[in-house]
Amino acid sequence: MPRTTSESGPASGPLWWDGYAGRSPESPAAATISAPEAADVVIVGGGFTGLWTAYYLLREAPELSVLVLEAEHVGFGASGRNGGWVSGLFPLGPSALAARHGASATRALLTALQASVDEGGAVIGALGMSEASYAKGGMLYLARNGAQVTRAREAVAAGAAWNEGTIWLPAEAARERLAASNVLGGTWNPHGARIQPRALTVGLAAAVRSLGGVILENSPVVTARPGRVDLADGRVVAAGHVIRATEAYTAHLPGLRRRVAPVYSLVVATEPLPESTWATIGLAQAEVFSDYRHVIIYGQRTADGRLVLGGRGAPYHFGSAIAPTFDRDDRVFDLLRRTARELLPQLAGTEFTHAWGGPLGIPRDWHPAIGYDQAARVGWAGGYVGDGVAASNLAGRTLADLVRGRPTHLTALPWVNHRSPAWEPEPLRWFGINAGLRLAALADTEERRTGRPARVAPLLSALTGH
């Protein structure tokens, strides 16, 4: 796979994978290890959820044998393809969460998510994972038309009500952080950081192995059920506990096709920019950034001085399909490049060297969850809707407590054993998800033209829980 691409060049892998091609976190001896016949805990999936779970299990209970099975390489899925945000966000807004679980439980969950941003950073520092490029600069959201100002003000009011730290930035203060076009104001929240996600997965894998865990890459699983995991090559591993950490790929396991909908998010990255250009752009504190449009965008300034911008807009594929060809959508890539240049005119003449994508998992009610069946000894976590980097750390710590049978403040959080309803069967699922994506794009177009909240905005809020 080529390491870079020009805007009209061949397909490239994620920017984050540069330098990791052919570089396995396995030691030469580990590369020859075959799957054991049995393990105390078998984790399916070598992304953030699986690796954090393995790490905390082995750190707290080193007597356990822990096996992680990954179909490709660690960080192959969303964990190695995302925009590098570590956010204390939950896809559902606090009011929607409180309507389901109550105010006290909602505050406990939000506080735990915010603490996970710092917990992840502390582990990265303690383990010396400098390549992960962790920098906690907070989350900056710009308001660039009247409708976005309205939503920004609502976010500030919600932040005050739930004590989650969002503050209003007048236009000048917002532009000081990010000198974008058409800035009318913005918000900033301290509970956000930047990382290099593939480096974090590789570092976590090394930590798991150093604690005695076994990670087998290129080991796809066909079924994961109580007491056993069946691999595609016919091997069977007896498992004391089974943990499913498969995020969007959950839809391809038997009986789980309607558990989450795999929806693609795509990302582009520029060449490294000179310091003189960054002096005109900002992000001096490594803030991650977005704005208040409906079709989500997300960006960061990388440690090597690139501008990374990702966003939604790629279609959902019929039957919850996932395929390598879906990682690229030239129409969306072009839109992201235009968006970056419209947002930051300073990028005129800048080359975009990378373009990539991948699926994330969306539950029917947009509610991530952790589950554990004590009788069957089967656990799972996911459905993060793109907010999974910090949430997966919290999920890993919680699953470790559940496996060990330890009631803690984490196992009492309201997302534990939450059950989302199943997605509708096809073709209703295909029609509904893609109609929602189209509706969001139309709402943004209307708001750019009128400056007022789109007429369909209440419907979009109902769909997403915000």
> pLDDT, tens digit, for every residue of 182-226?
999 999 999 999 999 999 999 999 999 999 999 999 999 999 999
Q: Which residue has the tokens 């199943």?
A: 422
pLDDT the model gives residue 203: 97
Tell me, what amino acid is at 22? G
pLDDT the model gives residue 5: 41
pLDDT the model gives residue 267: 98
CB burial of residue 30 (10 Å; 0-12, 13-18, 19+): middle
Q: Which residue has the tokens 């997302």?
A: 415
Whether the predicted pLDDT of 322 surpasses 90: yes
Measured distance CA(149)–CA(142) in Å, rounded: 8
- Mean pLDDT throughout 222-233? 96
Whether the predicted pLDDT of 32 surpasses 90: no
Q: Which long-range contacts (CB under 8 A, 24 or more apart) does 444-449 make?
A: 444/293, 444/294, 444/295, 447/145, 447/146, 447/147, 447/148, 447/293, 447/294, 448/145
Report, in angstroms and rounded to the nearest whole number, the Rg of the chain calculated over CA atoms.
21
CB burial of residue 163 (10 Å; 0-12, 13-18, 19+): exposed
Measured distance CA(228)–CA(401) in Å, rounded: 21
Peptide bond into 226 cis (omega under 30): no
DSSP labels, 208-240: HHHTT-EEESS--EEEEETTEEEETTS-EEEEE
Q: What percent of the chain has pLDDT over 70?
A: 94
Q: Which long-range contacts (CB under 8 A, 24 or more apart) does 25-33 make?
A: 25/74, 25/202, 25/205, 25/206, 25/209, 25/215, 26/209, 26/215, 26/217, 27/209, 30/209, 30/214, 30/215, 33/214, 33/216
Our CA dihedral for 297, 105, 110, 57, rounded to 10 degrees, sits at -110
Whether the predicted pLDDT of 118 surpasses 50: yes
3-state class (DSSP) for residue 187: strand
Whether the predicted pLDDT of 59 surpasses 90: yes
How do beta strands 228-231 and 236-244 pair? antiparallel
Segment among 206-210, 325-329, 454-458 with least mean pLDDT: 454-458
Tell me, what amino acid is at 47? G
Residue 414: what are its φ and ψ, rounded to 5°? Answer: -70, -15
263: part of which helix (H) or strand (E)?
A: strand 261-270
How do beta strands 139-143 and 378-382 pair? unpaired
Measured distance CA(107)–CA(159) in Å, rounded: 11
Compute the mean pLDDT over every residue in the chain, rounded to the nearest whole number: 94
Instruction: Report whether 215 contacts 46 (CB < 8 A).
Output: yes
Measured distance CA(206)–CA(116) in Å, rounded: 21
- Mean pLDDT throughout 102-109? 98
Measured distance CA(397)–CA(126) in Å, rounded: 17
pLDDT the model gives residue 9: 45
Q: How far apart are the first and last CA of the chain?
A: 39
> Partners of 139 in the beta sheet?
189, 288
How do beta strands 236-244 and 38-44 pair? parallel
Pick the closest to residue 115 from 87, 143, 95 (CA basis). 87
pLDDT the model gives residue 216: 97
User: pLDDT tens, 237-295?
Assistant: 999 999 999 999 999 999 999 999 999 999 999 999 999 999 999 999 999 999 999 99
CB burial of residue 233 (10 Å; 0-12, 13-18, 19+): exposed
The pLDDT-based confidence of 35 (bands split at 50, 70, 90) is confident
Q: Alpha carbon of 433 to those of 17, 28, 278: distances in Å? A: 30, 45, 38
pLDDT the model gives residue 8: 44
Measured distance CA(93)–CA(387) in Å, rounded: 13
